[in-house]
Chains A and B, each alone.
Chain A
C-alpha cells in the first residue's frame, strides 16, 4: 500500500498522545495546576495534531463531518466518535485538575478507556481489510495498543511500566512481521483465483499504458533488502535504544532522547506497515506473485 505521510504521522503521534491520556487518566496521584497543564498540553498537541493530519489525505474534505454517520458498520466512523468522546472526557478531567486541583478519578478512568478505544478503532480500520492479508491479523490491534501504551508510559514518566510495555510492543512487532510475511499465502488469493484461469498465469498486457489510482495507491512494492534494513533500524530506534536509556539513571534530557528515538522508530515501523502491505488487487497487475500460496 502507498505509505501516505499524513496517515503515518497521524497514527504515530495520536497513538502516543492517546497513550499519554491513558496514564494521565489512571494515575492514582495525578499532577495538578501548571504541571497538569504541561502534561495535558502535550497529550492534546499529539492527539489533535495526529487527527488533523489524518484529514489531509481526504480528497473531498467538505464532507468529512459526515463520517460520524455510519458508526454501526464502519470502524472509521467509530474512530471519529471514540476520538471526540475521549478528547471531551479528558477535557473535563484536565480542567478539574489544572484549574481546581480536583481529581475526578472516575472521569479519568472513563477517559482512559475511551482513549484506548480510539487507538483500537484506528487499528481495526486496517485489521478488518481482508484484501490486505498482512493487516488482517490479530497482531495488528495488539501492535497499535502496545506501542500507544509504551509511548504514553514514557511520556508520563512511568519508567518501569514503560520498559514493560516497550518489551511487549517489541515482541508484538516481531510477531506482526513474522506472521505478516506469511499472511498473503495463508489468505489463499492467487493470480489463478483472481482470474480463474489455469496453469501458469502471467500478466500479458496491463489495461492501460499509464498508471492509475489503483496502481499508485495499492500496488506499492518495497525492495526486500531495504525492508530488512529498515526493520532493524525501526526495532532499534523504537524498542532497544529507549529500553537502554530507561535503564540508565533518569534525567529529563535522557528521557527526551528516549522518547524522540521511540517516536522515530514507531514512524519507521508505520511506514513499513503500509509499504510492505500487499493488496490482493496487485495480482491483477502482475505484482506479489512471489507472495502467493504455492499451487496445490
Chain B
C-alpha cells in the first residue's frame, strides 16, 4: 500500500551532527559494504577503472559558508534517506513497491514489486533514492532494518552500519517519537533542524547545526603586512657586471 500510515508507533531515524562530522566517508563505506553483502540487490559499481560511478545510499557533500566578514568555514554534510512522515516518494509509487512501515516509520522498497520507473526518486527533494543501474531497481537507505532487529549479531551492533562505524560520533540512531529518548534530548538541546522544511515532507532525521566557531579571525593585515617587503625587493633592477654585459650584448644581436 502506498497510502502513508496516519501515524507510526515509533519514528526511527538518524540525528547527524554537522559540528562533529569530519567528512571521512567511513559511513559511506560501511553503508555500501553492509548493503551490498546483505538484504536486497547489491549496490553496484560501474566502470571501476575508468569514469567510475556507483550506487550509494549515503553520500557526503561538503559546503563552504562565507559570512560577510571573517573567515569562511567548511561543513561536511552526510545525506541519506530522512524517512519522512509525509514521504512524497511513497504515494507516487504505482506498484506499491515503496512503503512506509506503521510500526517504526522506516521507508522501504519492496524490490520484488519495483518496476524501475524512477518516479519516487523524482518526488524526493533530497536525492535519497537512486536506481541501481545494474539491477534496475530503486535503492534507498533501509535504516539497516536487517541489523537493528537482528538477534544473531551482538547487541552493540544492532544499529545502522553508518552509526556503528562513525569514528567521530557524529551519527546517532534512535526513536524520535519518544521525547525521552537520548536522541530526542540531543535534538532538543542542540536545536536540531529539518532539511528543506518548506517542501512539507516532515523529515524524521534531524541535523544538528554547527556550533559557533571561536572569534579568532585571520591575522589583521594593514600597513604592517609588507614588513618584510624591503628585504624581498630586487637588489638591482638592471643587471650589472658580466651578466649585464651579456644581456646588453644579446640585445644588440
Q: A-side interface residues toward B, CB under 8 Å? A: 1, 57-64, 66-70, 72-77, 80, 125, 128-132, 187-189, 191, 193-214, 217-218, 279-281, 284-285
A64 with B65: CB separation less than 8 A = no
A63 with B115: CB separation less than 8 A = yes
Residues in B whose Cβ lies below 8 Å from that of A210:
51-54
A58 with B117: CB separation less than 8 A = yes
Residues in B whose Cβ lies below 8 Å from that of A205:
61-62
Q: What number of residue pairs across chains A and B have CB atoms under 8 A from each other?
A: 198
B192: nearest chain-A partner, CB-CB = A196
Residues in A whose Cβ lies below 8 Å from that of B1:
70
Mask: chain B, 78-105; 1 = CB below 8 Å from A; 0 = not: 0100000000101111111100000000
A188: nearest chain-B partner, CB-CB = B198
Question: Shortest 5 CB-CB distances between A and B: which pairs?
Answer: A59-B116, A59-B136, A207-B59, A77-B94, A60-B116
Q: Is B42 at the interface (CB under 8 A from chain A)?
A: no
A198 with B65: CB separation less than 8 A = yes
The distance from the CB of A118 to the nearest CB of chain B, in whole angstroms, is: 14
A209: nearest chain-B partner, CB-CB = B52
Q: Is B188 at the interface (CB under 8 A from chain A)?
A: no
12 more A-B residue pairs beyond the given contacts A69-B96, A73-B91, A218-B121, with a C-beta to C-beta distance below 8 A: A58-B117, A59-B117, A60-B135, A60-B137, A63-B113, A67-B95, A72-B3, A73-B2, A197-B18, A206-B61, A207-B59, A281-B126
A281: nearest chain-B partner, CB-CB = B127
Knowing A199-B65, A207-B59, A211-B53 are in contact, say whether A59-B131 is a contact too (CB < 8 A). yes
B88 with A131: CB separation less than 8 A = yes
Q: Is B125 at the interface (CB under 8 A from chain A)?
A: yes
Knowing A199-B67, A281-B127 are in contact, say whether A70-B96 is a contact too (CB < 8 A). yes
What band does the interface of chain B fall in when counting residues whose beta carbon is under 8 Å from A? 35 or more
The distance from the CB of B125 to the nearest CB of chain A, in whole angstroms, is: 4
Residues in A whose Cβ lies below 8 Å from that of B2:
70, 72-74
A to B CB contacts below 8 Å, 9 in the list: A63-B114, A63-B116, A74-B91, A74-B92, A129-B122, A131-B124, A200-B67, A213-B130, A214-B130
A68: nearest chain-B partner, CB-CB = B94
* Selected contact of B63 from candidates A60, A76, A125, A204, CB within 8 Å: A204
* Selected contact of A130 from candidates B28, B116, B133, B199, CB within 8 Å: B199
Which of A73, A77, A128, A203 gathers the greatest number of chain B CB atoms within 10 Å?
A: A73
Residues in B whose Cβ lies below 8 Å from that of A217:
118, 121-122, 131
The distance from the CB of B236 to the nearest CB of chain A, in whole angstroms, is: 44
B64: nearest chain-A partner, CB-CB = A204
A131 with B122: CB separation less than 8 A = yes
CA distance in complex: A201, B194 (Å): 17
Residues in A whose Cβ lies below 8 Å from that of B66:
199-202
Residues in B whose Cβ lies below 8 Å from that of A191:
63
CA distance in complex: A58, B121 (Å): 13
Q: B-side interface residues toward A, CB under 8 Å? A: 1-3, 18, 28, 51-56, 59-68, 74-75, 77, 79, 88, 90-97, 112-119, 121-127, 130-131, 133, 135-137, 193-200, 207, 209-210
B137 with A218: CB separation less than 8 A = no
The distance from the CB of A206 to the nearest CB of chain B, in whole angstroms, is: 7
A218 with B122: CB separation less than 8 A = yes
B136: nearest chain-A partner, CB-CB = A59
A193 with B65: CB separation less than 8 A = no
B93 with A70: CB separation less than 8 A = yes
A78: nearest chain-B partner, CB-CB = B94
CA distance in complex: A208, B53 (Å): 8
A189 with B118: CB separation less than 8 A = no
Residues in A whose Cβ lies below 8 Å from that of B65:
197-201
* Selected contact of B92 from candidates A59, A76, A80, A279, CB within 8 Å: A76
Residues in B whose Cβ lies below 8 Å from that of A195:
63, 75, 77, 195
The distance from the CB of A245 to the nearest CB of chain B, in whole angstroms, is: 37
The distance from the CB of A26 to the nearest CB of chain B, in whole angstroms, is: 30
Residues in B whose Cβ lies below 8 Å from that of A80:
94
CA distance in complex: A281, B118 (Å): 15
A204 with B62: CB separation less than 8 A = yes
CA distance in complex: A73, B87 (Å): 12
CA distance in complex: A138, B201 (Å): 21
B198 with A189: CB separation less than 8 A = yes
B127 with A218: CB separation less than 8 A = yes
B136 with A193: CB separation less than 8 A = no
B61 with A193: CB separation less than 8 A = no
A80: nearest chain-B partner, CB-CB = B94
CA distance in complex: A187, B1 (Å): 29
The distance from the CB of A277 to the nearest CB of chain B, in whole angstroms, is: 10
